Structure 1
């Protein structure tokens, strides 16, 4: 009798262990399948982003003459008496290489909405409802602000260029190379584009509880002085206009950040 009970208990224990093992195996299999599905989804999203970059880069390469003319127009005609202000290359392949790099940069720039959308489509299923509510306007406003920053940078860049050319004209004969010029304007325009993301950065810090509108108001005078000093270092050259334009923009964006925080990070 005792042996029979012991056998029954062993069978029950064996059945329980077997069922528990099967449950664990099922969970592991489901988890592995979910991970594989996520990786496959990520691969598809990245592939779509790369396709977008390739397509826009090809389009940019087709219109390379117009793009080069547009980017070169801020350069003063007096920049070089030998070339009448035209940009020069110092190697056989340099012109082709720089054209490819600029086409790629334009392709990436034009693909930003696609990249952001694909990123959003990948992470959106895992976000809470309130996080989704903030993400969409953040992405849209971020694109608009970055575009405004790039545009203002392009408009402003002629002032440091004119100053630097006039400063050197009496002492040197300038040959403006394509590499140095496009590196210069890329840095300048990106600096403006990044600076214009200040409202989003401060609003995000407010959403996670690091700052609030009251703190920004309290530190307003110190922040404005700091931003004007930063504007002098960010803008190359010693012209008057570019640091003033960037300083005014940064001060305006700081005040805009306070409004953004009231709208997006209100309790």
Structure 2
């Protein structure tokens, strides 16, 4: 007994790639993607609401490492809440951040599934590579910021006026810590910009290396302006990390240039503003040969008189 198999049509990804999907179908797909992404964030928000307390105590540890914040038994003192709703709003804010992180794979996939059909195969491949590098770099920057927060707080307390209590307001303290983590995480994405310039052929590794003075100066200036901690420790550590990542990115760029054979072209070692060599040796010019006169042009042949109208057409027309 033979069963007829139903022929499966092209998927939504294939239809979006070849341009056969209409505008209304694109809008409908965007609506579905946003709805699924919202469900992922909502699920992460519910999970983050239960994880908000452990995360809060984790963010509180740098404060507990400061001098004068623990009692005789080693218990860390509590942070101040200046309003009745501060504790609930802080837990809700932490839950929202955790929801974005926990639901990140879902809403990032929905965003990528909507954008990917408009990219070429090579562009999608490089997008996978850069995303795989960006996530660990951001995490490394956040971890580094977490371990230097107490150093920055210690400097602020020592450099300020004396006679003040070390008990902080909870909203200001959590904002300070999260801003440090976010800033360090975003700053650690700087090498990806250099690698994009190199992999797309905009700048070679030698040109990137020639910028080292400017990059180091900009790194220290950026760290001094953007760091919430005005102390020298956090600024120097962030600038040093950015400079180190810059040289690592330049090393990867050299490997990429070597793999692609850049620098071995015909004019690779010649500067762009160098004048090309010219052959200025004089050559003797001899007398030219005799030029023969042109033969006369004959008279044109007479043109036949046009035939009458009734005899211009054949039997077919």
TM-score band by shorter chain is 0.7 to 0.9
Uncovered stretches (5+) of structure 1, i.e. residues with no partner: 1-30
Equivalent in the alignment of 1:191? 183
Equivalent in the alignment of 2:83? 91
> 2:43 touches 2:99 (CA, 8 Å); kept in 1?
yes
Per-residue CA shift, 1:165-188, capped at 9, x if unaligned? Answer: 333462423541111111111111
The answer to whether structure 1 residue 67 and structure 2 residue 55 are counterparts is yes
How much does 1:85 deviate? 3.8
Equivalent in the alignment of 1:131? 123
- Number of matched pairs: 237
User: How far apart in 2 are the matches of 1:112 and 1:206?
Assistant: 29
How much does 1:244 deviate? 2.5
Equivalent in the alignment of 2:219? 227
Instruction: Return closer, same or farther for 1:168/1:39 CA change in 2, 3 Å cut-off.
Output: same
Q: CA RMSD in A?
A: 2.7
3-state SS in 1 of match to 2:179: helix
How much does 1:260 deviate? 4.4
User: How far apart in 1 are the matches of 2:220 and 2:77?
Assistant: 32
1:10-29 matches, within 5 Å, as none
Equivalent in the alignment of 1:113? 105
3-state SS in 2 of match to 1:90: coil
> 1:79 touches 1:165 (CA, 8 Å); kept in 2?
no
3-state SS in 2 of match to 1:75: helix
User: How far apart in 1 are the matches of 2:255 and 2:170?
Assistant: 45
Equivalent in the alignment of 2:148? 156
User: How far apart in 2 are the matches of 1:253 and 1:196?
Assistant: 8
* Larger relative helix fraction: 1
Instruction: Return closer, same or farther for 1:108/1:229 CA change in 2, 3 Å cut-off.
Output: same
User: How far apart in 2 are the matches of 1:132 and 1:81?
Assistant: 52
**TM-score where L is the length of structure 1:** 0.78
How much does 1:204 deviate? 2.7
User: How far apart in 2 are the matches of 1:259 and 1:119?
Assistant: 32
**TM-score where L is the length of structure 2:** 0.67
Larger CA Rg, structure 1 vs 2 = 2
The answer to whether structure 1 residue 176 and structure 2 residue 168 are counterparts is yes
> 2:41 touches 2:107 (CA, 8 Å); kept in 1?
no
Instruction: Return closer, same or farther for 1:223/1:246 CA change in 2, 3 Å cut-off.
Output: same
